Structure 1
């Protein structure tokens, strides 16, 4: 399943979910990583991760970061360094984030014209094969909690913005702002069938409630009870016409 939204940034942002086979604790590291790759082993993956998968930096390094709320990072960065992936308390694993003393890697990034050393505490979890394929920011998580069902239902049913309203000066027509606010969303909705669907579910199977034969719940109101009795469904008429044994 996937759902596309824009988050008022002008470009599409997708939430994609796979529910095929569960990932066991000893298989997480083979699918998801939260560490800086070894530049000597895989320079291509190292470049993609350094460019796209570093959070912030925020906190004491940058109080003006968009993720900061009440003096803290709303995304809980920097994360805790840990030598092995373990099960977390919120339905998500605590991914392996080795320190530089434990063979973990670090890199240098520029922030406000200053060089800052970044280690695995700042890496957003990713899938190496997806990062190398698309060379973009793709956050991949393993969720082993019932919260995953709530997460899926929330994102695929909440829909997108219906309208954008603003107050401006008389006879003002800021075409750039109008384009940034809604043009991409409108184009995707109008022409999405040609190059990108806004929502997809596969397989498109709806689970039906299980009940015994003729045991489904039927609700009557004062308005439809008389009409139902006067014009019963076809299968009831056939039943009434059968000769009594």
Structure 2
């Protein structure tokens, strides 16, 4: 299953980055997560080119939250009604885990809406027409208590093209202008793996081993297999480099690595860093002097062995025929209180 999911994630990212399914992608980031039941899923964030960003009147072309027509789109109808229906819970199924003290923890069912709107929270409120307004309903069986009638209020937002391509659960949201919303999404994607809290207690304390197992079962078979195969849990595009900031002169840090002799460490300390190497490149290269620090990795690569910056030999021609790549740099923040750092 890990092999199949890995191939699906790779095919999806290739389609998004190179296929132009949603437009030109400027940057992307994704993280793989596993539920406690062991099922994997990917959280993906895309930044589109400004020219390809959907306008408010175009949102319905990218995201739907309604049941498709079974006659016009039979394949999509089958996928949505079997894989994109939340619950149902609440009055339709009061024993559902998402119902806590009579409230819906996951904010379903949504309210009916005749048109798609951009909300102040940064998330769009997608069109969910009622049956009187042209919406559809479908009867689903297999739930405790018998078959239930589901309308558009229970549909998870999806993209028609990607749902057909993946034939699986694919929740898609469009984030607009809210900084707090974007910050939450980025924080959620890069939050890291699950962790377990533990404490040491006296030997005479009664321990509920079943409850402890259920609460601490975070490393499942799928997650173990994924890491055993060496598959990445997190990837981002374009690559990000971080240039060095350090003290001048001989006041540079020494890094001791396993198996490296002290003599070799002392010799490496006298070589150029990314910062001093940039100074030398600017003294020799007129084009390098026209760049800011965050633009250097776009046109130059750092040679670890030679300890110098070299112009890229592959990529797309940019300024004056110089090759460029989609690489960016994240510059350190240097406080004036730190003194003569450079």
Q: TM-score, normalised by structure 2?
A: 0.55
Q: Aligned-pair RMSD on alpha carbons?
A: 3.0
Question: Secondary structure at the residue paired with 1:48?
Answer: helix
Contact kept, 8 Å, 1:9 with 1:180, in 2: the verdict is no
The C-alpha deviation readout for 1:158-199, integer Å capped at 9, x for no partner, is: 211245989749xxxx9xxx9985222122122133xxx211
Indicate how the Cα distance of structure 1 residues 167 and 218 shifts in structure 2: closer, same or farther if over 3 A, else same. farther
SS of residue matched to 1:13: strand
Picking from 237, 248, 262, the partner of 1:202 is: 237
Q: How many residues align?
A: 211
1:17-32 pair list within 5 angstroms: 17-21=45-49, 22-32=53-63
Which of 88, 91, 109 is the equivalent residue of 1:57?
Answer: 88
Q: Which has the higher contact order (CA 8 A, sep 6+)?
A: 1
Unaligned runs of 5+ in 2: 1-28, 199-206, 241-327
Using the TM superposition, give the Cα deviation of residue 3 of structure 1 relative to its aligned residue in structure 2, in angstroms: 0.5
Residue of structure 1 equivalent to 2:130: 99
The answer to which of 141-150 and 23-32 deviates more is 141-150
Q: What's 1:158 paired with?
A: 191
Whether 1:136 aligns to 2:168 is yes
Aligned to 1:242: none
Give distance in 1, aligned partners of 2:235 and 2:134: 41
Match of 1:239 in 2: none
SS at match of 2:115: coil
Instruction: Give the equivalent residue in structure 1 for 2:267.
Output: none
Give the TM-score normalised by structure 1. Answer: 0.75
Q: Which residue of 2 aligns with 1:38?
A: 69
Who is 2:35 aligned against?
Answer: 7
- Counterpart in the other structure of 2:147: 115
User: What is the SS of the residue equivalent to 2:54?
Assistant: coil
Q: Secondary structure at the match of 2:42?
A: strand
User: Aligned equivalents of 2:33 and 2:337: distance in 1?
Assistant: 38
Give per-residue Cα distances to partners, 1:34-85, cap 9 Å, x unaligned: 0000000010000000000111111111111121222111121111111110
Q: Give 1:243's aligned residue.
A: none
Deviation at 1:204, TM superposition (A): 1.6
Higher strand share: 2
**Do structure 1's residue 182 and structure 2's residue 214 form an aligned pair?**
no
User: Does 1:147 find its partner at 2:180?
Assistant: yes
Is the contact between residue 159 and residue 172 of structure 2 (CA under 8 Å) also seen in structure 1?
yes
**In the superposition, relative to structure 1, how do residues 40 and 154 fare at CA in structure 2: closer, same or farther (>3 Å)?**
same
How far 1:91 sits from its partner (Å)? 1.3
> 1:205-224, aligned counterparts within 5 Å?
205=240, 206-209=328-331, 216-217=334-335, 220=338
